[in-house]
Structure 1
Amino acid sequence: MYELGVLDKECRQLCDGIYSKKDTDAISRALAFAYNAHQGQQRKSGEPYIIHPFGVAVLLISLRFDAPTVQAGLLHDVPEDTTITLQEISRSFGKQVAQLVDGITKLARVRFKKAWFWFGPPRAQELPAFERQAETLRKMILAMSKDIRVVFIKLADRLNNMRTLDAISQDKQIRISQETLEIYAPIADRLGIGQWKGELEDLAFPYIYPKEAQLVQSLVGKELRRRQQDAQKARKLLYKFLTKEHIPTLDIHSRIKHRYSFWKKYEKYGRDMSKICDLVALRVIVPTEKDCYTTMGAIHTHWKPLPGRIKDYIAHPKPNGYQSLHTSVSGPSGHVFEIQMRTQEMHLESEVGVALHWHYAEEKNKGRRFSLKNPARIPKSKLEWIRELAAWQKNITDAKHYQNDITYKFFKNRIFVFTPQGDVRELPENASPIDFAYAIHTEVGNHCVGAKVNGKMMRLDTKLSSGDVVEIRTQKNASGPKQDWLTLVQSSAARQRIRSILNKRKRMQ
C-alpha cells in the first residue's frame, strides 16, 4: 500500500491533465528522493513517514500549484528529519526548490509557548497577552516567507498534520489545535482558501472546545436531515423556474456549514437555532455577474426574502477577495434558508483563493484552463491583506489606496527573532544582538558580553535576520554599555537605555 511504485502511480494520476510530462517527472523524482530519505521512519500513528509529505503534495496538487511548490512539499521535512542537507536538495532539484524547503524549515520554529496550553484555551486574564502573541506569530509567518508559496506549503503541512492529530499526546493536541485556530486558519482565510480554512477550524474545534463541539454535533445531527431535504426540494424548484425564465445556470448545489463556523454564529445569535439560515445553503453558479442579480430577482418573485438579509459581496467584496450575492428566503416548505449566487470564477476563488491566480490563463484553442506559467505573480489587489497586516482584523475598504504598493509595507524594516525557549521578539531590520538583549530586559542588555546566533558564537555587531535563534551571554560584573554600542543598535528603545547609562556615568565622573 505504501510502496514507492503505488505512491508514484497515484501521484502521476493526480498530475495527469494538470502538469506537463516534464513537470510530472520532476514531481515523481522528488517523491522518490523523499521516499528514500525517510525510509525506516514512522509517524506517531505507526504509518510510514512518507505518507505525510505525500499528503502535503496531494493538497498542493489539488490547488494546482507549480511543480517546484509540489516538489518542496514532498521534500519539506528532509533537512530537519534526515541526514540530507539543504545543499544536496539544491544540487538535486535546483535553487528554487531548496529555497522553498529552507523557508518551511525556518517556519518550523514558529509556535505558541507551551505554557499557554496546560489547561486548554488561555484563561480570560491571559487573553490579551495570548492574542498579542497570536498576532505576532501570524505576522512572523508572513514576514519570514519571502516567497509566498512557502505559506501555502506550510498550510498544507498543517492541514495534513491536523488530520492525524489523534496519534499524539494531549498537550501537543491542544497546542497545535490552538495554533491552528489562531494562526493558520486566519492566514488561510486571508488567502481566501475557504476549503482549507473550514477544515482546519473543524479539525481543531473538538480539541480546544470539546463540550461545545459535542453540543454542535447534537444540534446539527437533529436539524441537518430536515434542512437537507428542504434544500433538495428547493433546488429542483429553483432549476425549474430559472429554466422557465431563461436564466442560464452552470450548477445548483447545496453546501453544509462548517461546524466551527456554525458554533460561532450560534453564539452570536444567543444560541437561537432558528436564526441560523445557512446550516444548509444553496449555491447557484451562473455565467456572469449580471446573471447573479437577475437570478436573485427571479428568486424573490417566487420566495419571500427576509428583510435585511441580502448581502452583496460582489459590489463589496470581503477583505480576502470573496465575492458572492447572498439572500435568505422563506422556501417551499415554509422554512428560511440561504441562497448564494456567484460566477464560476467567484466560486473557484472562494474555495482556493489567491491560488486561483497562480495559474489561471487563456491559451489559444484550449479555452480557459490552468497553466503553470509565472508562478510567483499574484494580482496586486489580492495582496491587500498581506501589505497592511497592521489592520489584520479590520475591513479593507479603499482598494485603490493600495493599488501601487508593490512591497509588503508592514514588514519593511522589521525582523522576527527567537529566544532559545521559542519566544519571539520583533526588531528593526539590521538589528544586532545588543538590540535583542535589550528587547529581553534592560538588565540583560546592560550585562551583555556575547551572543550565540543559531548555535554559533557571533560578534555583537552581527546583523540578525528573521528566524534567527539568539542566546545572550551575560556576566554579573560586566562593565556595561560602551559608547560604540550606539552605532550598533537599530531600536530606539535600546539606544535610549544605552544613552541613559552612558549619561549617568558622565555625571558621576
Structure 2
Amino acid sequence: MDKHRAYHPAPSQTVHAPDGLETARPQAAGPQTARSQAKIIRQFELTERVLSYDPKADTSLIDAAYVMAMQAHGDQRRDNGDPYITHPVAVADILAGYRLDTGSIITALLHDTVEDTGVKLADIEARFGKPIAGLVDGVTKLTKLELKTGRDKQAENFRKLVLAMSQDIRVLLVKLADRLHNMRTLHFVTSTERRQRIARETMEIYAPLAERIGMDAVKTELQNLAFAQLEKEAFDTIQARLNFLRGQGADIIEEVRTELARLCHAAGVEAVDVSGREKSPFSIWEKMQRRNIAFEQLSDIMAFRVVVPTRADCYIALGAVHANYPVIPGRFKDYISTPKSNGYQSLHTGVTLPHPRNQKIEVQIRTADMQRVADNGVAAHWGYKQGVGSPADAQDFPWVRDLLEILDNSTTGEDFLENTKLELYQDKVFCFTPKGQLIQLPRGATPIDFAYAVHSQVGDTCVGAKVNGRLLPLRTELQNGDQVEIMTARGGSPSPAWERFAVTGKARARIRRYIALQQRQQHVDAGRAALAKAFRQDGVDGSEKVLEAALKTLKAASLDDLYVAVGNGNTGPKDVVHAAYPELRQAPRAPRMIPHMPSRAPSRPAGGSMAITGLLPSMVVNYAGCCHPLPGDPIVGIVTTGKGVTVHAKGCQTLESFAATPERFIDIGWEGDGLAGGVHTGRISVIAANEPSVLANLTNAISKHDGAVTNLKIVNRQQDFFEILIDVEVRDLRHLSTVIAGLRAANGITQVERARA
C-alpha cells in the first residue's frame, strides 16, 4: 500500500476552503451548515509519524507550531462547518508522507496563519527562526491564485510563486500538498463555475509543476481530480469503460505479473517487485485527444512495472521481455541513459501478449531507487536528512532558471503566464549540440528554440541552423536524436517572424522582448521627430529642458515615455506644446457634439469597392500593413488622429500596443458575407527549393489562379532553399486560400502559409 495515501482521510471525511483554495474566510457553524465530521489528526499522531522516519526530529517545534495554528485559527470553520485547523494539519500529514524535514512540516501547519489570522511573521520568526519564517512568508505571498480579477492578477501571483520557489524549492512542495488537499475536497464547493475555475488552474499550473519536480503520484491525482470537474461526462465514460475492462480481465494482471517474474528469473535477475496497473482516466483521455483515436485503439491501457536490483539488471530484464514477446515498433524509450529533466529514469517498452490474449501492454523496468524518484521526485532528495536547504538548491533545476529568465524577459503579466505554460507543458524531444551536449525541448520545437535553450545570446544572434549536417529552415520541427548546429553572426537580432514558430516559452519571451524594445525605439524616434516639428511650427523652444518641465503636466515618467506616447498617437504633439507653453493654447471652444455612431452604418474605404460596416460616412480608411486584412477576416478599427481609421485583423499582434486606449477601438465588419469583389493585398510566406525554375513556377501558379504579384522579397537565401514574402492582389480571403492551394501544388515549393507581417 502507498504509505503516503494510507494516512489521508477519505474524501468524504475531509473539508474544503470556501473558494477551494488556500485560504478560508472565518465562518460560524450553524444548524444550516452541512458537516463532514472530519477526524482531525491529533498532535501526537503527527509527531510520531515524523519520528518514524526522523528519530532526531525536534518534535517540540512541531508541537509548538501545531498549538500556534490551533489557537490562531480558533473558531474559523470551512464551508461544511468543520474546524479550519483540519486543513493545515492535513497538509502537514501529506508532507510527512513524503518524509520531508521538520521545517516543511512546521510551514504546512502555519501556512495560512499570516494570511487568515492575527499572527505576524515576526511572531513566527521569534518562535521558530528566520528560515521557517521565510518559508511561511513565501507560501503566504502565493495565496488566492484565482482568476477573480483577470489573468493579470493570476500572472502576478504566479510570478511570486516562481520567485519564492527559486529561493527554496520547499515552498513549492508545501504549495502542492496544499493544493492536493484542496482538490481532494473540491466537491464541497457548491458553485460549479468556481469548482471549474479552480480545477482549470490546477490543470494548467500545479499539475505541470508537480511533473517538473518528478512527483508523478501528485501530478496524476491532481490531473484526475481536475479532469473530473472540467470534463465530467468524459471522466465518467472512461471510468465506466475501465471498470468494465477490469471485470473482463481480472485474471490478466496476475498472469502477466507471474510470467514477467518467471522471465526475469530465467534470465538470472530476481525481480524485487512486479506490479500491474491501468492508465489514469486523464492520461487515457489526453492520449485519445492527442492521437484522435477511440478508446478501443489505445495500446497501453494496462502497464506493468518491474523493479530489479541494479541498473545492469534493467537491461537484462528488458532483453528477456523482448525475447519472449513481440515488440511494438516505436514504443521503446530509454530514460536510464537519457533521464528526463525531472530526474526520472526507467526503461519503457511496448509488447503484445501472445495468443489468445493478443493484448498490447506497456512494461516499465527500473531499480528501487529509480522507483522512489519516480513516485516522489524532488521530495525523494529533500528528505529529513538534508535539514534546512540552502537558497541555491532550487537553482539546481534548469527549468527553474528558465522560468526566471522568462520572468525577466516578459513585458507583461499575460506574456509571462503564457510563456510559462509553454515551458511547463508538452512532451520532450532530445537533441544534441555538435559537441554532444544534450538539450531537452518540447515536442514540436525548432532550431530557434534549440538556440535559445543553449544560451539567450546564441538565440538572439542566430542566422541559420544545420540539422544532422544539412542546412534547413529555422522553422523545421526537430526530432529525437537530431544533432543541431546553430550559426550566429555578430550584430544579428531576432526576427519578429520567429514568434510564429517558436515553441518554448523562453524563446517566445526573448523574441517578444526584442520586438517590444524595437517598437518602443521606433515610437521614441517618431515622437521626437513629431515634437521637433510641432515646436518649430509654433516658433518656440522645444529643448529637453522645456519638455522635462512639462512631464508632470503630461503625466509622463520620463522623456522617453513622452516620446513613446506621442509616437504611438496616445498624446498629440500640440498637447505637448500647449503643456510647455500654456499661453499658446487657444480659448476653449464649445464642445462639439459627435453624432451617435451607428453600429452597422455602411461606408466605403478609399480605393476599394468593399463596404465596411460600423463607420460614419466619409471617414478615411486605411488597411494595416502589419496584418493585411482581407474580406472574410474578422476585423477591428483603430482610430488614429489625422489618419482616420486603420483596419486590422482581430488576431493582429499590433493591437496589443493599443490595449491601454480601448476608446480607440471601433467594432467594424465587412458588408454582407465579406466575400465580394474589389482588390485587396494579401501577403504570403513561401519556402522554396533553390532551383532555377522555381520563381517561374511560383508566379505562374499565382497567375493561373487569377492573382497578381505586386511585391516580392527574398528574405532568406541559403544553398538549398530560400524564403520569400509575396504581396498578392486578391478579391478576398477565399481567393487567397485558392492561390495558396495552387502554390502548394507547384513544383519546387515546400511550404506556403499566409504571412501576417
- TM-score when normalising by structure 2: 0.49
**Residue of 387, 391, 398 corresponding to 1:373:** 387
Q: Is the partner of 1:41 in helix, strand or coil?
A: coil
Distance between the aligned counterparts of 1:142 and 1:9, measured in 2? 34
Q: Which residue of 1 aligns with 2:181?
A: 160
Checking the alignment, whether the CA contact within 8 Å between 1:57 and 1:71 is kept in structure 2 is yes
Q: Work out the CA distance in 1 between the residues paired with 2:146 and 2:158.
A: 10
The AA in structure 2 aligned to 1:165 is L
Which residue in 2 is equivalent to 1:264? 286
* Partner Cα separation in structure 2 for residue 372 and residue 151 of structure 1: 17
Q: What is residue 334 of structure 2 aligned with on the other side?
A: 312
| Distance in 2 (alpha carbons) for counterparts of 1:136 and 1:295 | 49
In 1, Cα distance between equivalents of 2:397 and 2:306: 28
Corresponding letter in the other structure for 2:558? L
For 2:134, give the aligned amino acid: Q
Q: Distance in 2 between matches of 1:493 and 1:158?
A: 42
For the 8 Å contact 2:146–2:154, the answer to whether it is kept is: no
User: For residues 97 and 56 of structure 1, do their structure 2 counterparts lie closer, same or farther at Cα, with a shift above 3 Å needed?
Assistant: same
How far apart are 1:480 and its partner, in Å? Answer: 1.9
Report the Cα distance in structure 2 between the residues aligned to 1:92 and 1:224, rounded to whole angstroms.
53
Q: 1:374 to 1:91 in 2, by over 3 A?
A: closer
**Structure 1 residues 136, 194: CA separation in 2 closer, same or farther (over 3 Å shift)?**
farther
Does residue 244 of the first structure (1) align with residue 279 of the second (2)?
Answer: no
CA deviation profile, 1:57-95 (whole Å, cap 9, x unmatched): 011111222211110110011112212222111112111
Instruction: Give the aligned partner of residue 496 of structure 1.
Output: 564
SS at match of 1:320: coil
Q: Which residue of 2 aligns with 1:121?
A: none
Contact 2:267 2:317 in 1 (8 A): no
Structure 1 residue 306: deviation in Å?
Answer: 1.4
What's the counterpart of residue 205 of structure 2? Answer: 183
Of 555, 564, 567, which aligns to 1:481?
555
Mark the CA change 1:382 to 1:219 in structure 2 (over 3 Å): closer, same or farther: farther
Between 1:65-74 and 1:329-338, the stretch displaced more is 329-338
TM-score normalised over the length of structure 1:
0.72
Q: How does 1:288-299 map to 2 (within 5 A)?
A: 288-299=310-321
Cα displacement string for residues 315-369 of structure 1 (whole angstroms, at most 9, x for unaligned residues):
333333322111111225331111100112221111111122223xxxxxxxxxx
5 Å-filtered alignment, 1:23-38, equals: 23-38=58-73
Partner of 1:99: 134
Q: Distance in 1 between matches of 2:70 and 2:257?
A: 47
Is residue 147 of structure 2 the alignment partner of residue 112 of structure 1? Answer: yes
**C-alpha separation between the residues in 1 aligned to 2:258 and 2:140?**
51
Pick which of 391-400 and 315-324 moved more: 391-400
Q: Secondary structure at the match of 1:108?
A: coil
Aligned residues: 408
Q: Distance in 2 between matches of 1:259 and 1:104?
A: 31
Following superposition, the deviation at residue 56 of structure 1 comes to 0.6
User: Match of 1:467?
Assistant: none
Aligned equivalent of 1:253: 275
Letter of the 1:77 counterpart: D
- The letter of the residue matching 1:342 is R
One-letter code aligned to 1:339: V
Deviations 1:4-28 (A, max 9, x none): 8x61122123213322344233222
Mapping for residues 450-461 of structure 1, pairs under 5 Å: none
Q: Say whether residues 1:341 and 2:365 are aligned partners.
A: yes
Of the three residues 166, 175, 195, the one matched with 1:173 is 195
Instruction: Give the secondary-structure state (helix, strand or coil) at the position aligned to 1:36.
Output: helix
Kindly indicate which of the two structures has a greater share of residues assigned to helix. 1
Distance in 1 (alpha carbons) for counterparts of 2:322 and 2:391? 41
Task: Report the Cα distance in structure 2 between the residues aligned to 1:64 and 1:493, rounded to whole angstroms.
Answer: 53
Asked if structure 2 preserves the Cα contact closer than 8 Å seen for 1:192 and 1:352, the reply is: yes
Contact in 2 for aligned 1:358/1:376 (Cα 8 Å): no
Q: 2:554 aligns to what SS in structure 1?
A: coil
CA–CA distance in structure 1, aligned partners of residues 306 and 164 of structure 2 = 39
Give the Å deviation of 1:282. 0.7
| Distance 1:294-1:381 versus aligned 2 partners, 3 A rule | farther
Give the Cα–Cα distance (whole angstroms) in 2 for the partners of residues 111 and 387 of structure 1: 25
Structure 1 ranges of 4+ moved more than 3 A: 1-4, 132-140, 225-228, 376-382, 393-402, 492-509
- 1:352 aligned onto 2:376: yes
Cα distance change, pair 103–498 in 1 and its aligned pair in 2 (3 A): farther
Secondary structure at the counterpart of residue 276 of structure 2: strand
2:219 to 193, 197, 206: 197
User: Structure 1 residues 77-86 or 180-189, which shifts more?
Assistant: 77-86
State the 1:279 CA deviation: 2.3
Distance 2:393 2:296 in 1: 40
Task: Confirm whether residue 141 of structure 1 aligns to residue 161 of structure 2.
Answer: yes
| Contact 1:281/1:338 (<8 A) preserved | yes
User: Structure 1 residues 133 and 314, CA, compared in 2 at 3 Å: closer, same or farther?
Assistant: farther
Worse-matched range after superposition: 305-314 or 149-158: 305-314
Q: Distance in 1 between matches of 2:185 and 2:279?
A: 22
Structure 2 counterpart SS, 1:252: strand
Which whole-Å deviations, capped at 9, do the CAs of 1:235-265 have from their partners, x for residues lacking one? Answer: 0111122112211322111233221111111
Per the TM alignment, residue 114 of structure 1 is displaced from its structure 2 partner at its CA by 6.2
Amino acid at match of 1:355: A
| Higher alpha-carbon deviation: 393-402 or 293-302 | 393-402
Q: Which position in structure 2 is the counterpart of 1:86?
A: 121
Q: Which range moved further: 97-106 or 272-281?
A: 272-281
> Structure 1's 326 and 379: CA in aligned 2 closer, same or farther, altered over 3 A?
farther
Superposed CA offset, 1:170-198 (max 9, x none): 22211111110111111111111101111
CA contact (8 A) 1:354 1:378 kept: no
Aligned to 2:343: 321
Q: Within 2, Cα distance between the matches of 1:190 and 1:137?
A: 19
Q: What is the alpha-carbon distance in structure 2 between the residues aligned to residue 114 and residue 381 of structure 1?
A: 32
Q: Distance in 1 between matches of 2:246 and 2:558?
A: 66
Check conservation: 1:253, 1:283, Cα contact below 8 A: yes
Q: Distance in 1 between matches of 2:82 and 2:562?
A: 50
Query: By how many angstroms is 1:165 displaced?
Result: 0.9
Render the CA deviation track for 1:396-444: whole Å, top value 9, x for unaligned: 7466679xxxxxx99xxxxxxxxxxxxxxxx9xxxxxxxxxx9xxxxxx
- Once the two structures are superposed, what CA deviation does each residue of 1:112-149 show, in whole Å capped at 9, x if it has no partner? 2467xxxxxxxxxxxxxx7x998776555213433221
In structure 2, the residue matched to 1:46 is 81
Preserved CA contact (<8 Å) 1:358 1:378: no
Following the alignment from structure 1 to structure 2, what is the Cα–Cα distance between the partners of residues 157 and 181? 15
In 2, the alpha carbon distance for the partners of 1:175 and 1:79 equals: 25
What's 1:414 paired with? none
| 1:219 equivalent in alignment to 2:241 | yes
Distance 1:498 1:350 in 2: 56
Where do 5+ consecutive residues of structure 1 fail to align?
A: 116-129, 360-369, 403-408, 411-426, 428-437, 439-477
Partner SS state of residue 479, structure 1: helix
Secondary structure, counterpart of 1:241 in structure 2: helix
Which residue identity is paired with 1:331? L
2:142–2:157 contact (8 Å) kept in structure 1: no
Further displaced range: 174-183 or 255-264: 255-264
For residues 234 and 59 of structure 2, what CA distance do their matches in structure 1 show? 44
Does the C-alpha gap of structure 1 residues 245 and 102 become closer, same or farther in structure 2, counting only changes over 3 Å? Answer: same
Q: Bigger CA drift: 294-303 or 145-154?
A: 145-154
Distance in 1 (alpha carbons) for counterparts of 2:300 and 2:396: 27
User: Residue 349 of structure 2 contacts residue 364 of structure 2 at CA under 8 Å; is this kept in 1?
Assistant: yes
| Separation in 2, partners of 1:105, 1:138 | 13
Report whether the alignment pairs 1:150 with 2:171: yes
1:388 aligns with 2:386: no
Q: In structure 2, list runs of 5 or more residues that go unmatched.
A: 1-36, 407-421, 441-454, 457-508, 510-519, 521-551, 582-757
For residue 119 of structure 1, what is the aligned residue in structure 2?
none
Taking every aligned residue pair, what percent have the same amino acid on both sides? 33
